[in-house]
Amino acid sequence: MRDAKSSALVVHSISSQNVTASTDGASADLLNYDGALVIANYGLYQDGTAWTLTIEESDDDSTFTTATDVVGTATAVTGTGDDNTSDSLGYIGSKRYIRAHIELTGSSSSGLQVAANIIKTNPKVSPAA
């Protein structure tokens, strides 16, 4: 299949919300997929030293650790110049479950608007959807 729709499946991870602390998204099951793309969409920055997208991985959908088999480097959201931007990381690891994680460095009282999706890629069986 040559179209992207047949070779990818979108999973919602973090609902659009204002966060004031580090935030874990819902997980995606990568069974029958060989990779993923995690996309964070940022809205209004209000405070916090830095907000950064990471990917967490798990074998059992219960105990998550920071993934190391990641393609790309996340750009931290550090001020209002980062309002209404997006960031993404690729995942090529071997764990079955992954989730988006927004990491706060420093403290926040007003927070950051954020949402995140996981796009499962490279299905072992096509079409994906």
Confidence (pTM):
0.94
End-to-end Cα, the chain, rounded Å = 12
pLDDT at 3 > cutoff 70: yes
User: What is the torsional sign of CA 101, 103, 108, 110?
Assistant: negative
Which amino acid, 72? G
Could you report the per-residue pLDDT of 79-122, keeping only the tens digit for each?
999 999 999 999 999 999 999 999 999 999 999 999 999 999 99
Could you report the per-residue pLDDT of 30-80, keeping only the tens digit for each?
999 999 999 999 999 999 999 999 999 999 999 999 999 999 999 999 999
Tokens of 7: 């070779």
One of 3.40.50.2020, 3.40.50.300, 2.30.30.30, 2.60.120.1110 is the CATH number of 5-123, namely 2.60.120.1110
Give the Cα separation of 116 and 38 in Å (integer).
7
The mean pLDDT of the chain is 94
Give the Cα separation of 95 and 68 in Å (integer).
11
